[in-house]
Amino acid sequence: MTDVAILHDRFPGIGGGEEFALEAARVLDAPIYTAYVAEGTAIPDDVEVIPFQQSKYTSLPWRPVLEWKNEGMNPLETLHVALDMTDAHEALTEYDVVLESAPLSKSYVPAVDQRIVHYPHSPPRWLYDLYRDRLSSFAYPFLETGLKAYAKAWRALDKEANDYVDRFVANSELVRDRIRRFYGRDATVVYPPVTGDWRTDGDDGYFLTWSRLAPEKRIDLIAKAFAGLDERLVIAGDGEQRERLEAIAATHDNIEVRGYVADIESLVARATAVVYAPKQEDFGLVGAETMMAGKPLLGVDEGFTRYQVQEGRTGLCFEPTVESIRETVRRFDPADFDSNAIRAEARRYEYDRFAEGLRAVVEQTAAVGEPTRRAADADEPDLEGVTDR
């Protein structure tokens, strides 16, 4: 039996990366080691989470500085977490396989006989595909030069850490392509699991969008588009753009901002369709959950969202412009879509397939370290739910 531990960089809250780490711990019956758990973050009782630098990140005088976040651009916090990952917890060396969740966990330096599976969710986007976008928000000569040097140094460290990884796992074909492009390594695709009571309970005549209300999710673009339509739009979620969205809603009776909704499944169940426009989304849990509910997805034609939308079957695609969204909503007819057909396409995101794929990756990676099994590994059969290309 392979002895497995999970190394997740930190728990600043419960987002998509943290949900993955928790579900992976359940599937593999493994503890999670992490740098810290932020105050107010609720950890489920059935998962063991071991923070090994808790006081450093949650005590004065460092807490205010280290808690400041800017979507991965807090240099001090990022540097400290990466450095703490290198040796992490002394007990980690006792495990056969360490499953690393999130990019910074790759900094862990393993023991000679350990095997490392790295599930990064994506190479750090601010260093690669979103680098120019992030840099443009700091358009001051000296500051820009400093940030370029900082990013260049981080790219070198990021790629150096690839030497410790035995096997990369991607959460989508898009992220697998990023890993190939930026790291020159191949990856196995194992989709994150969709959990929850996703269903359809009818149609109450509103379009829905929900996610973290951050600029890269482009909820404001959707709101502006619906400001010129007669259709109702409900926005769920919280984040830095909430006040901006509430200002738009205040002047348009057809737009409503609900904030964080605990029972998002029930809100989706009564929606006409879901509208989703994130910038180059890695995986897009919102899209997967929409499909599991049997609801049509009106999605932006980029990132992994374009893979989720099968035109005329699971939804419709639009360009990331106000006019394209409006045109797509106008031509959308819910009668053209079948909930059962949409759910059939969503089977790839079922929990059992995630569990089977993740266990297979861990066992196969562990077996590479056993000389007597290497010959057998060369002829291993393809496993459903695990994609190598």
73: pLDDT confidence band, cut at 50, 70 and 90?
A: low
Tell me how far apart the alpha carbons of residues 116 and 166 are, in angstroms, rounded to a whole number.
5
Residue 120: is the preceding peptide bond cis (ω within 30°)? no
CA distance 287 to 293: 10
Q: Which carries the bigger pLDDT value, residue 70 or residue 351?
A: 351
Whole-number pLDDT of residue 178? 94
H/E element, 387 = strand 387-388
- CATH superfamily assigned to domain 4-193+352-388: Glycogen Phosphorylase B; (3.40.50.2000)
Average of per-residue pLDDT across 45-65: 87
Give me the amino acid identity at 1.
M
- Where is 300: in which H helix or E strand? strand 297-300
Residue 371 pLDDT level (bands cut at 50, 70, 90): very low
Q: What is the DSSP secondary structure assignment for residue 109, as one 8-state letter? A: -
Q: For residue 27, report the phi and psi dihedrals to the nearest 5 degrees.
A: -65, -40
DSSP string, 88-103: --GGGGG-SEEEEESG
**pLDDT, average across residues 346-374:** 84
- Residue, of 251 and 240, whose pLDDT is higher: 251
The model's confidence at residue 369, banded by pLDDT at 50, 70 and 90, is low
φ, ψ of residue 62 to 5 degrees: the values are -80, -25
Integer Cα distance of 359 and 353 in angstroms: 10
Two tokens, residue 235: 């926005």
Pair 229, 161: CB distance under 8 Å: no
| Contact present, 178 and 129 (Cβ < 8 Å) | yes
Statement: residue 297 has pLDDT above 80:
yes
User: Average pLDDT, whole number, for the chain?
Assistant: 89
pLDDT for the residue numbered 148:
86
- Residues facing residue 300 across a β-bridge: 318
**pLDDT at 147 (0 to 100):** 82
Q: Are strands 273-276 and 387-388 parallel, antiparallel or unpaired?
A: unpaired
The domain ranges of the chain are 4-193+352-388, 206-348
Q: Quick one: pLDDT at residue 386?
A: 54
Structure token digits, residue 175: 């992220």
Residue 140: the pLDDT is 73
Same fold, 4-193+352-388 and 206-348: yes
Q: Mean pLDDT over residues 94-99, rounded?
A: 96
CA 65 to CA 341: how far, in whole Å?
49
Predicted pLDDT at 74: 72
Q: How many residues appear in the chain? A: 389
Q: Which comes out higher in pLDDT, residue 60 or 383?
A: 60
How confident is the model at residue 69, as a pLDDT? 58
Q: Give the residue from 249, 211, 205 showing the smallest Cα distance to 231.
A: 205
Over residues 138-170, the pLDDT tens digits come to 767 777 788 888 889 989 999 999 999 999 999
What is the CATH topology of the domain spanning 206-348?
Answer: Rossmann fold (3.40.50)
